[in-house]
Amino acid sequence: MSAQTRLKVAVVGCGIAGPAAALFLARDGHEVVVFDRAEELGPKGAGILLAPTGQYVLAKLGLLDAAVLSGSKIERVAGYTAKGSQVLDIRYRHFDPETFGLGIHRGALFTILYRAMLAQGIEIRTGCHVTAIEDGLLTYAPVGLPERMEPFDLVVVGDGARSGLRGNLGFRTHMRPYPYGAVWASVTNWGDYPDNVLRQAYSGTHRMIGLLPSGKLEGREGRQISVFWSLPVSQLSLWRVNGLDRWREDCEALLPGLESLLSEIESPEQVTFATYYDVRTWFSGHDHCAVIGDAGHASSLQLGQGASLALFDAMILAECIDREVNLLAALSRFAELRRGHLRFYRLASRWMTPLFQSRHGYLAPTRNLLLRAAARLPWLRREMAATMCGVKDGPFSRIDAYQIGDFSQVPRS
Residue 58 in 3-state DSSP?
helix
Residue 110 in 3-state DSSP?
helix
- Give me Rg for the CA atoms of the chain: 21
Distance CA 155, CA 135 (A): 9
Helix axes 363-376, 327-356, angle to 10 degrees: 110
Distance CA 94, CA 92 (A): 5
Q: Which helix (H) or strand (E) holds 186?
A: strand 180-187
SS3 content of the chain, % helix, strand, coil (to 5): 40, 30, 35
* Closest to 277 (Cα-Cα) out of 208, 172, 179, 359: 179
Distance CA 215, CA 71 (A): 4
Is 232 contained in some domain? no
Distances (CA, A) of 370 to 88, 223, 366, 374, 381: 9, 34, 6, 6, 11
Distances (CA, A) of 311 to 32, 55, 235: 17, 9, 33
Cα angle 123, 126, 129 (rounded to 5 degrees) comes to 115
Residue 407's pLDDT is: 45
Residue 139's pLDDT is: 94
CB 131 within 8 Å of CB 37: no
* Closest to 73 (Cα-Cα) out of 55, 96, 95, 94: 55
Is 220 contained in some domain? no
Q: Which domain holds residue 30?
A: 8-178+276-398
Q: Looking at this protein, which amino acid is placed at residue 76?
A: R
DSSP 153: S
* Closest to 387 (Cα-Cα) out of 302, 311, 326: 302
Is 238 contained in some domain? no
Residue 344's pLDDT is: 95
Distance CA 165, CA 288 (A): 14
Counting the structural domains of the chain, the total is 1
Q: Residue 233 contacts by C-beta under 8 Å, 6 or more apart in sequence? A: 177, 178, 179, 180, 181, 275
CATH code for position 387: 3.50.50.60
* Closest to 105 (Cα-Cα) out of 61, 77, 81, 69: 69
- Our measurement of the distance from residue 24's CA atom to the centroid of its chain's CA atoms, rounded to an integer in Å, reads 18
Intervals of the chain under pLDDT 70: 1-4, 189-191, 284-285, 287, 400-413
CB 59 within 8 Å of CB 205: no
Is 255 contained in some domain? no
Residue 406's pLDDT is: 45
b/e code 222-239 from CB counts within 10 Å (16+ = b): ebbbbbbbbbbeeeeeeb
CB 83 within 8 Å of CB 203: no
Residue 1's pLDDT is: 59
Is 240 contained in some domain? no
Q: Looking at this protein, which amino acid is placed at residue 35?
A: F
Is 201 contained in some domain? no
Is 208 contained in some domain? no
Cα angle 33, 39, 43 (rounded to 5 degrees) comes to 90
Q: Residue 299 contacts by C-beta under 8 Å, 6 or more apart in sequence? A: 276, 277, 278, 279, 305, 306, 345, 346, 349, 350
Q: How many Cα neighbours within 13 Å face the side chain of 83?
A: 4
Strand pairing category for 224-232 and 180-187: antiparallel
Is 147 contained in some domain? yes
Residue 408's pLDDT is: 46
Distances (CA, A) of 344 to 56, 279, 348, 393, 394: 19, 14, 6, 5, 5
Residue 295's pLDDT is: 92
